């Protein structure tokens, strides 16, 4: 029997291309579905469900961020079980993993794409949001989708890619107003790439005009809602200092919520009130002796290591010259959110940073690959430190009850 060599070669290439990310998605599916219905629905989830059932979160009553609730309304027609309702976030979470792989592979190479996908898969923070009836996995899904489309359009500005970018960015806007920060890097990259091509700039300008025209009728409602939000309960959050800024790297990658490392058992609101009354360093000195000191020091060391990887990715010359666009997509929206947090109330919180967190994960992956090229033993050590940190974070996540029925996470 004669083997069909070309067909076997095609199949082998297909498996080589898609099997790694397929295995990562399989692991992610297991992590997201594990204990999906174990914890009770908490206040924000009940808000999503009740307001969607009553129509309050749907247009025309909600013009600020209706898109997730519109999808949830359709999803709710099939079942009202906790597992089913949370399953919607699982889908967007898996989609985000696939998109971060595609974006990382396109702009920094396949290894970086795979590592970034693993980082997102194992993130306890992201698993938490993939297991709740909220829009927090839809946000990075739309962010990555629009960015991937724009990455294609910057290289080959065909109408299809430009249109997909415009659609994804508009849907992101009507999912959360924070998405407006994504237009800052978009405009910078478009303006630079096509600075000598007026026709292509015009094509993007038309799409921006369409986005603006569709969003303009909603701006008044968005402004009113955002003003109310920034003058509401978020005013209790302290302004971000260097510790709060860099700790989000640990929040994002290996441990959520970080306050549990201190072993104080206090609620998030009480912790924030204490931090408003004294500096973080004073608070740490006062409470650290009653805490589990070894894990705390270990995660502090991990945070320093993550900062180092990020610095390597930002400062070193990567083999792929396209990585600089990831730097722009990471830093400019994050800088905008930081500016808002200083000028108004602080929104420098992990869930609001999910819109830009995938780009920082790609940079961390690129930093690790750069270390691998320089010194493989060091890269193995870095991977081991990460594995211990995220392993401990996952054990803590799956063995701790965070959500109180009808209340806030503990």
pLDDT digits (tens, 9 = 90+) for 277-328: 656 566 566 655 555 677 888 998 999 999 999 999 999 876 666 899 999 9
Q: Say yes or no to pLDDT of 273 above 60.
A: no
Name residue, tokens 């909220």: 134
Residue 157 dihedral angles phi and psi, to the nearest 5°: -75, 65
pLDDT band of residue 235 (cuts 50, 70, 90) is: confident
**Contact predicate 63/221, CB 8 Å:** yes
Q: Say yes or no to pLDDT of 82 above 60.
A: yes
| Mean pLDDT for the chain overall | 89
Please report the pLDDT score of residue 87 as a whole number: 98
Residue range 203-216: average pLDDT?
95
Nearest residue to 217 via CA among 60, 52, 56, 55:
60
Q: What percent of the chain has pLDDT over 90?
A: 73
Please report the pLDDT score of residue 13 as a whole number: 77
Q: In 10 A of CB 166, how many CB atoms?
A: 22
- The whole-angstrom separation of Cα 93 and Cα 139 is 10
- The whole-angstrom separation of Cα 65 and Cα 51 is 13
Please report the pLDDT score of residue 23 as a whole number: 98
Helix intervals (H) in 109-241: 110-122, 124-130, 138-155, 159-173, 183-193, 198-230
Q: Say yes or no to pLDDT of 231 above 70.
A: yes
pLDDT band of residue 1 (cuts 50, 70, 90) is: very low
Q: Which 8-state DSSP code applies to residue 236?
A: G
Tokens of 34: 């594990």
pLDDT band of residue 14 (cuts 50, 70, 90) is: confident
pLDDT digits (tens, 9 = 90+) for 32-67: 999 999 998 999 999 999 999 999 999 999 989 999
Which has more confidence, 8 or 219? Answer: 219
User: Could you give the dihedral angle defined by the CA atoms of residues 272, 277, 280 and 284, in that order, rounded to the nearest 10 degrees?
Assistant: -90
Residue 2 dihedral angles phi and psi, to the nearest 5°: -90, 125
Please report the pLDDT score of residue 271 as a whole number: 56
- The whole-angstrom separation of Cα 144 and Cα 330 is 11
Q: Say yes or no to pLDDT of 146 above 80.
A: yes
For 129, residues 6+ apart whose C-beta sits below 8 A from its C-beta are 89, 93, 136, 137, 351, 354
Q: Say yes or no to pLDDT of 69 above 50.
A: yes
Provide the sign of the torsion angle of the four alpha carbons 67, 64, 142, 347, taken in this order. negative
Distance of CA 103 to the CA centre of its chain: 14
Domain ranges of the chain: 36-399
DSSP states along 328-365: HHHHHHHHHHHHHHHHSS----TTTGGGTHHHHHHHHH
Please report the pLDDT score of residue 402 as a whole number: 77
Q: Say yes or no to pLDDT of 268 above 60.
A: no
Of 15-19, 78-82, 286-290, the one with minimum mean pLDDT is: 286-290
Q: Which 8-state DSSP code applies to residue 41?
A: P
Q: What global pTM score does this model have?
A: 0.92
Please report the pLDDT score of residue 406 as a whole number: 57
Residue range 333-351: average pLDDT?
94
- The whole-angstrom separation of Cα 313 and Cα 109 is 14
Q: In 10 A of CB 26, how many CB atoms?
A: 12
Which has more confidence, 272 or 231? Answer: 231
Please report the pLDDT score of residue 283 as a whole number: 59
pLDDT digits (tens, 9 = 90+) for 351-397: 999 999 999 999 999 999 999 999 999 999 999 999 999 999 999 99
């Amino acid at each position: 029997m004669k083997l069909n060599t070309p067909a076997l070669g095609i199949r082998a290439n297909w498996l080589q291309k898609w099997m790694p990310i397929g295995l990562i998605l399989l692991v992610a599916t297991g992590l997201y579905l594990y204990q999906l219905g174990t914890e009770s629905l908490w206040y924000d989830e009940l808000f999503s469900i009740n307001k969607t059932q009553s129509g309050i979160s749907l247009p025309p009553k909600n013009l600020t961020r209706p898109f997730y609730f519109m999808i949830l309304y359709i999803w709710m027609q099939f079942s009202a079980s906790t597992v089913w309702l949370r399953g919607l976030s699982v889908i967007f979470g898996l989609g985000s993993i696939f998109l971060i792989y595609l974006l990382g592979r396109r702009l920094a190479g396949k290894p970086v794409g795979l590592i970034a996908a693993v980082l997102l898969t194992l993130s306890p923070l992201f698993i938490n949001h993939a297991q709740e009836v909220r829009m927090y996995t839809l946000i990075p899904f739309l962010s990555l989708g629009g960015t991937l489309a724009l990455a294609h359009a910057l290289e080959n500005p065909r109408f299809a890619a430009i249109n997909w970018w415009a659609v994804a960015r508009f849907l992101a806007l009507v999912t959360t107003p924070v998405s407006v920060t994504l237009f800052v890097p978009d405009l910078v990259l478009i303006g630079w790439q096509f600075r000598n091509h007026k026709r292509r700039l015009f094509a993007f300008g038309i799409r921006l005009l369409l986005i603006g025209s569709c969003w303009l009728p909603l701006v008044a409602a968005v402004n009113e809602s955002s003003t109310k939000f920034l003058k509401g309960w978020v005013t209790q959050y302290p302004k971000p200092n260097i510790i709060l800024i860099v700790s989000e790297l640990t929040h994002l990658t290996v441990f959520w919520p970080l306050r549990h490392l201190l072993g104080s058992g206090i609620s998030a609101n009480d912790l924030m009130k204490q931090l408003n009354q004294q500096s973080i360093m004073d608070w740490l000195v006062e409470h650290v002796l009653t805490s589990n000191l070894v894990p705390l020091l270990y995660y502090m060391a991990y945070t320093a290591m993550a900062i180092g990887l990020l610095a390597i990715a930002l400062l070193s010359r990567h083999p792929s010259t396209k990585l600089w666009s990831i730097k722009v997509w990471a830093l400019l929206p994050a800088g905008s959110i930081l500016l808002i947090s200083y000028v108004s109330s602080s929104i420098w919180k992990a869930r609001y940073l999910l819109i830009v967190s995938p780009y920082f994960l790609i940079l961390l992956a690129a930093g690790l690959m750069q270390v691998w090229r320089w010194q493989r033993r060091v890269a193995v050590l870095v991977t081991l430190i990460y594995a211990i940190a995220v392993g401990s974070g996952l054990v803590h996540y799956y063995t701790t009850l965070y959500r109180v029925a009808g209340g806030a996470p503990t």
